[in-house]
Amino acid sequence: MYTFAILALLALATVKLIDVVDDLFGGLDRFKGVLTVILAIVGMYALDYSMFGSWGVSVDSEAVAKVFTGLVVAGMTSPWRAAFGYLTSGKAEDDETLHHHEHIRRAA
């Protein structure tokens, strides 16, 4: 249970760090997804954290465990962005994961 909370909070930290980097450098809208994955994986190496170790699952390669943990953290950033988009009443629609989609038109 604590492992899920740690992963969720690491995802929140990743979201906010990406927002800071975007504010500092700007023009990263096209690369936010890739930057999120890279930053999440690098973060797991920097923290030396693996969700598999917390669950007691043995993995042959610790490097692979950290990469997969980073991918899970990167995947958990999308619900955070959706929650921020909902709470800020549309301010976060500029994010690439929350694009404004046109409604489907009827063909018949």
Q: Which two tokens stand for residue 62?
A: 């610790």
Mean pLDDT of the chain: 84
Q: How far apart are CA 43 and CA 93, in angstroms?
A: 26
Query: Which residue's structure tokens are 């809208």?
Result: 29
Q: Are 40 and 73 a contacting pair, CB within 8 Å?
A: yes
pTM for this structure?
0.77
Q: Report pLDDT digits (tens) over 55-76.
A: 888 889 999 999 999 999 999 9
Residues in the chain: 108
pLDDT at 90 > cutoff 70:
no
